[in-house]
Structure 1
């Protein structure tokens, strides 16, 4: 009964995934991203000089092109989740926070809502990956001595320093700086003002975007980091006098410190060492035999 229920859920999710993919394909091809389109299976989804593309042919194409891989990914997710639950696996919250913070530093500027959505997505993906690594390495023996030696050698790489994501505008005149502040206070985009006024030719075209920096970075004036400690995300500083001119700094996102102890990293390091001993990359499909998996491609 459990097997049939799981298969039913997976097939239902697959159908939803295919329809969603179809919506994306249809709307991206027309340049109109509207996911509220109401399809009727009896009507064609397109016409080319009167020649009809039928709904069932479209779905068949999507299934043949993407269906098997999509279903395999969904089964992998279910297998990992069920085995992790069965074995009562858990991921240290500090390790998860570190992984998500590192992923955040690879992103450009995002809105508050986009950051929230991205972090939720990353946390889910990282958790699934770490569960998979734990499951595929569970039979690989790693001694306490090996774990301690690895920590002593590489432990520093698991510490994440407080990091700020910044943009700036550089001008040479206080009057211009005051004018920019007035426009910012009135709601004008920081990026637009950087493109209009900034003297920094390297960042001007990208709206003054600088990237991610820590306190020890030598690539930005020290005043930038100091000023942003007083700011909330998506706010800007008062004009700052620097050696390059008068600067106004925008804080996109602040990522706090992550400092993990040996105990917090113990299980993670054991996985890292075990993974190095594996000949292949972790593959969830190798765990399918641990559960009763049936799918339409058998």
Structure 2
């Protein structure tokens, strides 16, 4: 289960990166003419780098992976339609809820990000259903798996936090005063926080749950007492003093066997399969013909 969640995170990140790269590559097909090809995108001394040179390099480095990913997504949809396979919105929402607390990308547009996550999760679940459609898993096996792994289906409450860290109590009090006078928490974090990674994101540190060790336990203790949109008094931490803001909260969920039965079936079935779980298994059936040749599909 945890392995699967990690795989989804990694795959989703790759997917989003591929979409970004594909956007740049698509420009070659959208615009024609030497003016576009020779447009300068960078200068180094007396040398130039043209847009066409840049796009050619992108295609050379990432073109094959982007194209393969695009083909895989279409193959999944084709096979799902052929075998009349669907996944429920409840399954997608559950995986997305878990994913939200595992990976946070505050710098991206939230609605766009959510749409991309859910699209990829649905495709991933469809892929698993297609690959395991002929694998038989008994009710007894699934029930035993659930009983042995109940803690994996009991998701604790998660708190979406931002923070500002400054070196001294005096600086913390000054920041508190500015916040009380209406200063933006994110702007103040970018300007004052000495924790560079989160400062670049306006102080956003994503979701924290019980048992995590990324940040001091005092963060969660403070978060539980806060209302959404409010911040804590200064907290003594290793780097100095932190002010923690509660951006939002997701309540805990305890999933029943019925809720996760299909998920468990997929997990057991994938473990039982002797071949690797890959969409390229269906390329021939889907009649894929691509620029790089089917012998290079893997």
2:109 to 95, 101, 114: 114
Match of 1:76 in 2: 72
SS in structure 2 of the partner of residue 290 of structure 1: coil
Match of 1:86 in 2: 82
1:195 to 193, 196, 206: 193
**Aligned alpha-carbon RMSD (Å):** 4.2
- What TM-score do you get using the length of structure 2 for normalisation? 0.67
Gaps of 5+ in 2: 1-19, 294-298
Distance 1:274 1:182, change over 3 A: same
Contact kept in structure 2, 1:168 and 1:247, CA below 8 Å: yes
Answer yes or no: is 1:154 the counterpart of 2:149. yes
Distance 1:242 1:94, change over 3 A: same
Q: Matched residues in 2 for 1:79 and 1:215: separation?
A: 40
SS in structure 2 of the partner of residue 167 of structure 1: strand
Contact kept in structure 2, 1:97 and 1:258, CA below 8 Å: no
Match of 1:29 in 2: none
Q: Matched residues in 2 for 1:192 and 1:53: separation?
A: 34
Say which one has the larger Rg.
1
Q: How many residues align?
A: 258
Distance 1:181 1:148, change over 3 A: same
Match of 2:230 in 1: 236
Distance 1:114 1:63, change over 3 A: closer
Q: Matched residues in 1 for 2:124 and 2:138: separation?
A: 23
SS in structure 2 of the partner of residue 220 of structure 1: helix
Contact kept in structure 2, 1:22 and 1:62, CA below 8 Å: no
How far does residue 23 in structure 1 lie from its aligned partner after superposition? 6.2
Q: Matched residues in 1 for 2:38 and 2:209: separation?
A: 56
Distance 1:54 1:179, change over 3 A: closer
Contact kept in structure 2, 1:240 and 1:246, CA below 8 Å: no
Distance 1:124 1:285, change over 3 A: same
Contact kept in structure 2, 1:194 and 1:204, CA below 8 Å: no
Match of 1:27 in 2: none
Gaps of 5+ in 1: 1-15, 25-36, 197-202
2:96 to 100, 118, 124: 100
Contact kept in structure 2, 1:165 and 1:210, CA below 8 Å: yes
How far does residue 160 in structure 1 lie from its aligned partner after superposition? 1.9
SS in structure 1 of the partner of residue 281 of structure 2: helix
Contact kept in structure 2, 1:92 and 1:264, CA below 8 Å: no
Contact kept in structure 1, 2:76 and 2:279, CA below 8 Å: yes
Distance 1:223 1:192, change over 3 A: same
Answer yes or no: is 1:44 the counterpart of 2:38. yes
